[in-house]
Structure 1
Amino acid sequence: MLLEVKDLSVHYGVIQALKGVSLQVEEGEIVSLIGANGAGKTTLLQTISGLLKKSGGDILFMGKSLNKANAKHIVKAGITQVPEGRHIFPEMSVYENLLMGAYLRKDKDGIKKDLEMVYQRFPRLKDRLSQDASTLSGGEQQMLAMGRALMARPKILLLDEPSMGLAPILVKEIFSIIKDINAQGTTILLVEQNAKMALSIADRAYVMETGNIVMCGSGEELAHSEEIQKAYLGG
């Protein structure tokens, strides 16, 4: 098992945001996490990334507990997050943003090779390397955030709402890129409001409601579930 979340609890003061959440991601999978706003999906990703402290439970990565690991060690171990809202560095160039993704690496040749890989995957970024990142469109900023994350050579990529605020044609493009990244060997844990798209590419999926996992199954099973169609797919 690549990533295992066991009975995870997180509190914001007196409010319990995660109430004993458990999920698993196997190597090579795309696992989607769907649910309404405020269900706890982002909290879960941020806790896995070491950005939030848990109040109970455990997170295992490649069989080892991340209990004592800080955010930097977690990136080093192979977990990288593309945050909701992209969070690129607006005053820096596209090229500098990409290099920030490799800040823990020392292998210059490997970094050079990975930059080429990012340019191939996101040709639009290559055309804009010297531009300030703030001048990019929303779709290009999302590509930059994903490219930057790939520069860390993650074993698993945590994607938080990659389609948010994008035009439908760009949403299709971003999802096709996610599938491609996965086909090249990177495991994906995807949090996404667009339940239809999220389930269409998922090997497995979980549904979250108010800090709990309430359903899980294959992407196909959940897409065809009457309950899910009513709640999330407008069926």
Structure 2
Amino acid sequence: MLKVEDVHVYYGAIHAIKGISLEVPQGQIVTLIGANGAGKTSTLNTICGFIKPKTGKIFFEGKDITNLATQDIVKQGLTQVPEGRRIFANMPIYENLELGAYLNRNKKEVAQRMEKVYAKFPRLLERKNQLAGSLSGGEQQMLAMGRALMSNPRLLLLDEPSMGLSPILVKEIFSIIKELNEQGTTILLVEQNAKMALSIAHKGYVVETGRIVLAGEAKELLESPEVKKAYLGG
């Protein structure tokens, strides 16, 4: 579904992404794991069109999207839930969700999608008129995911969904991610919690200093001595 071919990204003179290539098959969860600053978020932001690569190509469902504007990439069916959630704190929950469907002018369709999001995240329905900034960290993550789902994506990019959450909420968020995948959404997951990410993923890539240093089936990576030592606490 998604193919990234030998992508290089620079921030000025800094060579942030050094020839990353990866594939996300339809219907799977693929995870990128690695330390802070490894280049995981930069990779997602390049796929989404926020950053343009100096060289390399990105294909979504066979179509070259390397130089498309972000809104045109969203129209193709690819949406990102950003690191840090980036909700609109001073707006009610329902307005945050409506913004996720800003490309859709069909009010009936938008209402149907909103119902689906509320069915998946009942807490958002209970609090729909509350300001988004009054939600807990876990609820804000649910809102960010719900907002992304409003664009009806076929591929969802998730950037550090467990960041700053309690262990109980982390389990809940990962359970939701797995459920979304089982219902047909393909997922590319960037996550520092390597153990949780690999436990729900089909495939994994280990990113270090802008390069992929290991790749394989998620179960294999969970058992890999290198991965255990570097990311799983031995």
TM-score of Structure 1 vs Structure 2, range by shorter chain: over 0.9
What is residue 133 of structure 1 aligned with on the other side?
132
Please give the residue correspondences for 1:83-94 in structure 2 after superposition, counting only pairs within 5 Å: 83-94=82-93
What is residue 17 of structure 2 aligned with on the other side?
18
Q: Does 1:113 align with 2:126?
A: no
The structural deviation recorded for 1:68 is 2.8
The structural deviation recorded for 1:106 is 1.7
State the aligned residue count.
Answer: 234
Q: Distance in 2 between matches of 1:73 and 1:204?
A: 27
SS at the partner of 2:37? coil
What is residue 100 of structure 2 aligned with on the other side?
101
Please give the residue correspondences for 1:29-68 in structure 2 after superposition, counting only pairs within 5 Å: 29-68=28-67
The structural deviation recorded for 1:107 is 2.1
SS at the partner of 1:37? coil
What is residue 153 of structure 1 aligned with on the other side?
152
The structural deviation recorded for 1:67 is 2.6
What is residue 144 of structure 1 aligned with on the other side?
143
Question: CA-to-partner distance for each residue in 1:27-73, whole Å, 9 max, x for gaps?
Answer: 10000100001100000000001101111100001101113310010
What percent of counterpart residues are identical? 62
SS at the partner of 1:74? helix
Could you list the runs of 5+ residues in structure 1 that have no partner in the other structure? Answer: none
The structural deviation recorded for 1:112 is 1.1
Could you list the runs of 5+ residues in structure 2 that have no partner in the other structure? Answer: none
SS at the partner of 1:38? coil
Letter in 2 for 1:72: Q
SS at the partner of 2:214? strand
RMSD: 0.6
What is residue 191 of structure 1 aligned with on the other side?
190
The structural deviation recorded for 1:111 is 1.2
Q: Does 1:167 align with 2:176?
A: no
Question: CA-to-partner distance for each residue in 1:89-126, whole Å, 9 max, x for gaps?
Answer: 11110000000000001222221111111111101000
Please give the residue correspondences for 1:204-219 in structure 2 after superposition, counting only pairs within 5 Å: 204-219=203-218
Structure 1 stretches (4+) deviating beyond 3 angstroms?
Answer: none
SS at the partner of 1:139? helix
Please give the residue correspondences for 1:66-77 in structure 2 after superposition, counting only pairs within 5 Å: 66-77=65-76
Letter in 2 for 1:188: I
SS at the partner of 1:109? helix
8 Å CA contact retained: 2:30, 2:201: yes
